[in-house]
Amino acid sequence: MHVHVSHAEGEAKFWLEPRIELAQNIGLGTKALRQAQSLIEEYEHDIRTAWQQHFGN
Question: What is the count of structural domains for the chain?
Answer: 1
pLDDT confidence tier of residue 56, bands split at 50, 70 and 90: confident
Tens digit of each residue's pLDDT (9 = 90 or more) over 7-36: 999 999 999 999 999 999 999 999 999 999
Prediction pTM value: 0.90
Cα distance between residue 12 and residue 39, in whole Å: 13
R_g (Cα) of the chain, nearest Å: 11
Domain of residue 13: give its range.
2-55
Please compute, for residue 15, the number of CA atoms within 13 A of its CA located in the half-sphere on the CB side: 7
